[in-house]
């Protein structure tokens, strides 16, 4: 099976998930497509208390189980299935559940840091960076974390100022230089999404 791995990086709430979902719909005609979220590969923090988990810097490369993710991507590339971890944002920890993932023609990996972590970056066939203004991203994150992740406004703001913004400036923004394509406007950039989908079809020999 021919397999292409696409990395979609960018700041928090930049539109990465929207682009991944639109690419999923547009590339299904070329073969099987799966989306893997980098967040599901946060380290297992079962041995830590809830208070200790809350203090973890989740926007630093060290927060991820890079070894496990890379091994899973290599297995999928070689035509083998995996049991992907599932992250629980309310518990701030990996869930006890896993998700069975079968090999696919297109693997879309989306998260804030896939271009910033060398071991992951080396496995990507197409590297995309989603570039969205900081104020828009912050508003989106505030709404998402309160409405979907059970957070209160003060905790979201404090985390943004203490870790999210500094880590964006230190790791995420600089990783833009590794991108094959920088997509402004996030998921609203239909032209860029169509170009990426066409490129995927060409690589897989269907266009």
All structural domains of the chain: 4-203 (3.40.50.300)
Is the pTM above the cut of 0.85? yes
Side-chain half-sphere CA neighbours of 75 within 13 A = 14
pLDDT of residue 93: 92
Q: Which residue has the tokens 């397999």?
A: 3
Q: What is the DSSP letter of 40?
A: G
Tens of pLDDT, residue by residue over 29-57, are 888 999 999 999 999 999 999 999 988 89
Confidence of residue 147 (pLDDT cuts 50, 70, 90): confident
């Amino acid at each position: 099976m021919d397999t292409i791995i696409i990395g979609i990086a960018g700041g928090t709430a930049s539109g990465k998930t929207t682009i991944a979902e639109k690419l999923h719909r547009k590339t299904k005609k070329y073969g099987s497509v799966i989306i893997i979220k980098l967040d599901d590969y946060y380290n297992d923090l079962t041995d830590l208390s809830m208070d200790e988990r809350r203090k973890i810097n989740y926007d630093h490369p060290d927060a991820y189980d890079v070894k496990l993710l890379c091994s899973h991507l290599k297995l999928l590339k070689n035509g083998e299935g995996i049991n992907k971890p599932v992250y629980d944002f309310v518990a701030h920890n990996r869930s006890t559940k896993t998700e069975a993932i079968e090999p696919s023609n297109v693997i879309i990996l989306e998260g804030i840091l896939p271009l910033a972590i060398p071991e992951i970056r080396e496995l990507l066939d197409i590297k995309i960076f989603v570039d969205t203004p900081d104020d828009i991203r912050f508003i989106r994150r505030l709404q998402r974390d309160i409405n979907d992740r059970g957070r209160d406004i003060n905790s979201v703001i404090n985390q943004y100022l203490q870790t999210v913004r500094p880590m964006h400036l230190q790791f995420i923004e600089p990783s833009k230089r590794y991108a094959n394509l920088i997509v402004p406007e996030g998921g609203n950039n239909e032209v860029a999404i169509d170009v990426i989908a066409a490129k995927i079809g060409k690589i897989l020999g269907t266009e």
